[in-house]
Amino acid sequence: MIGDVETAVGAALPTVLDLIEALGKLQKPVHFHLHDGHPLSTFSPFGVSDHLSFLLEMPLGFEYRGRRSVPLMFGRAGLHQITKKALKAIGRERVSFTLEIHPTVGRLPLGDAAALFNHWIDKTNAERMNQWLAVMSENHAALLEALTVKA
């Protein structure tokens, strides 16, 4: 059934781009909450299959087309297409964006910020937050790139 799932996931971007085009015709301000997703995702601690980073792939417990992962609905390229379409259809003066990515799994060492947590016995939560902030920062950089790269 993974082929059917991929077909459904592949239909998302064209549908979103059509919706953005229709919204642009209203000539009203529009705010986008940007995140990626995939119906197979179990990443979210909140039990939803979206609110994911644009920079992930969906791991599979089996091989499909020679790989053990599949792209998410949009990915970096989809983020670029969505922002370009929004800027063109709605207008830079009437569109805004927020990244809405849920906390991620994993920990990232605190690096040069470690001294701020010397008084903590257990740095697990600080390292988890550092991981989430790193994911948000990487997605923010991807969004800025999407907003500045010429179509």
Q: Which pLDDT value is given to residue 35?
A: 97
The structure tokens 């993974």 sit at 2
17-55 tens-digit pLDDT: 999 999 999 999 999 999 999 999 988 888 899 999 999
CA distance 5 to 136: 27
> In residues, how long is the chain?
151
Phi then psi for 83, rounded to 5 degrees? -70, -40
Q: Does the predicted model carry a pTM greater than 0.85? A: yes
Q: What is the mean pLDDT of residues 51-76?
A: 94
67 pLDDT band, cuts 50/70/90, is very high
Please report, rounded to a whole number, the percentage of residues in the chain having pLDDT higher than 70. 99
Q: What is the mean pLDDT of residues 60-67?
A: 92
Q: What is the mean pLDDT of residues 105-113?
A: 94
Q: What is the mean pLDDT of residues 115-142?
A: 96
Average predicted confidence (pLDDT) for the chain = 94
Give me the numbers of helices (H) and strands (E) for the chain, helices first please: 4, 6
Q: Strand, helix or coil at 68?
A: strand
CA distance 126 to 132: 10
- What burial class does residue 146 get, using C-beta atoms within 10 Å of its C-beta: 0-12 exposed, 13-18 middle, 19+ buried? buried
Instruction: List alpha helices for 26-96, DSSP H.
Output: 75-89
151 pLDDT band, cuts 50/70/90, is low
Number of structural domains (the chain) is: 1
Domain with 24 in it = 2-148
Q: Does position 137 have pLDDT exceeding 70, yes or no?
A: yes
